[in-house]
Amino acid sequence: MAVRRRYYYWLVKAYIKKWRAVIFTSILAGIVGFFLFFGILQLYIQPLLSKQTQVIGYEGIVTPATIPEPILEDISFGLTKVDKNGKILPAASSSWEIRNNGKQYIFHLKKGLKFHNGDELTADNVPLEFKEAKVKKIDKYTVVYELDEVYAPFLSAVSKPLLLDNFEGLGEYKFSDVGINGGFIKELELVSVDDKRKKKKIFFYPSQDALKTAFVLGDVDKAIGVKDTIFNSSDLRNWKGVSLEKNTDYSSLLTLFYNTQDETLSDKKARLALQNGLPMIFEEGERTFGSIPEHSVYFSQTINYGIIDEELAKTYLDGSAIDEKTVLTLSTTKEYEKLAKTIQSSWLKVGIKSKIEIVNSIPDKFQIFLYPFTVKNDPDQYALWHSSQGSNISRYKNLRIDKLLEDGRSTVEPQKRYDIYTDFQKYLLDDAPATFLYYPTVYTLSR
């Protein structure tokens, strides 16, 4: 037995001695090959197997001109940006000057900013023009806008994302594919400028039900702007594997517009009775009482802000144009029918009778219209309340409000603008051409 072991020992030793170069080379090649394969796996194969693609759903009928702001913000940014409080901050411009009593804006561009096609942003190619302004170049990085008239919201207006004709922007993502059918965008794909593995594939759905169905079926991994979490009598908040982010949409304000030219609602006491007969809280969103958000730097809590009182409603009702025979018509779309019924019930408690009319859009003739309006970053609401505007839904005419709106958009000094809009908020609430209800709660559903 011992002899056999020695035999095998000498045999292996002789084999190693004869083939040691081959054995050493093979081991070395194996080690190198292992690390080479590992590197290829990490750099090429693994990324292919785990693509960093977000599949996102939105509700909306979207055209190239109405792409949602959160998507455009991924693609580019403006000369300025407006924070959530309405404060103007630098973006593509590092600084600016306002001259000629508010008619001239000089922007100093940041150097080294490049569009997705490689072109540097300079004064020669700023893709931002306005009908009421002339654009001039001082030097390569300085551009001037000469306005025909003073327009204080101009710094907010130039926060619009800078995009070339083919949607080449300055942002983290760029368009890689767009699916258009009949002029409407059905889907689009964004890819990261720095990492082509990072993508966002975005689909648009015509309704809330279609958006939630797409999420439930797994067609999208994230649904943005969901207004309620109920799906087929089931609450998506209780589903396993579903995470939920709750937000308030401060760009939309649910409002009761009163037709101030109506025989009954031209009476201010009638409008104030309706306003005070409403609930103090709405479960659908964040309650508010004015047309400017409370977080805005231009918000002012005037002495008449936030006053809702049933007894006060009854006091206003006495001697108003609303009597026991009056039945007011509350018009709204199907989406807000439930809210309209809540309001109807609340008014009945103080003695105001009403009926609900479902419409598809803003009616030509109405008494009360329940619908949201878009809240902009700037406090200017000239289009909504000035008596000269066709977009003045309430057909409201008030010379004091007209003057304040005119002064607000022709005054560039921040403190003076604040004082103007403080008066505007006070007198608008006092006259009540509309009643402001809430900013809606929206959800983002994710897997």
Q: What is the CATH number of the domain that holds 309?
A: 3.10.105.10
Q: Are 104 and 92 in contact (CB under 8 A)?
A: no
Paired strand residues for 14:
none
Tell me if 82 is assigned to some domain: yes
Say if residue 270 is in the same domain as residue 415.
yes
* Degrees, nearest 5: CA angle 183-73-410: 95
Decide which of 133, 157, 181 is a domain's last residue: 157
In this prediction, residues 395-421 reach a mean pLDDT of 97
Q: For the ranges 13-22, 38-47, 126-135, 145-154, which has the lowest average pLDDT?
A: 38-47
Say if residue 286 is in the same domain as residue 152.
no
Share of the chain above pLDDT 90, in %: 81
Tell me if 143 is assigned to some domain: yes
Kindly report the length of the chain. Answer: 447
Q: Which pLDDT score, from 0 to 100, does residue 29 have?
A: 66
**If residue 430 lies in a helix (H) or strand (E), which one and from where to where?**
helix 414-431
pLDDT 10s digits, 314-331: 999 998 999 999 999 999
224 φψ region: left (φ > 0), alpha (ψ -120 to 50), beta (else): beta
Identify the band that residue 52 occupies on the pLDDT scale cut at 50, 70 and 90: confident
Residue 354, pLDDT > 90, answer yes
Q: Which pLDDT score, from 0 to 100, does residue 22 have?
A: 63
Helices (H) and strands (E) in the chain, counts: 11, 20
* Torsion on CA atoms 88, 92, 95, 101, rounded to nearest 10: -70
Residue ranges making up the domain that contains 295: 252-440
Round the CA-based radius of gyration of the chain to a whole number and report it: 32
What does the block give as tokens for 200? 């966002």
In this prediction, residues 242-251 reach a mean pLDDT of 94
Tell me which long-range contacts 100-105 makes (C-beta under 8 A, separation of at least 24). 100/146, 101/150, 102/147, 102/150, 102/151, 102/152, 102/410, 102/411, 102/412, 103/146, 103/147, 103/148, 103/149, 103/150, 104/144, 104/145, 104/146, 104/147, 105/144, 105/145, 105/147, 105/154, 105/155, 105/158
Q: Which pLDDT score, from 0 to 100, does residue 21 have?
A: 66
CATH number at residue 149: 3.90.76.10
Q: For the ranges 12-26, 263-277, 423-437, which has the lowest average pLDDT?
A: 12-26
Q: How many domains does the chain have?
A: 2
Tell me if 112 is assigned to some domain: yes
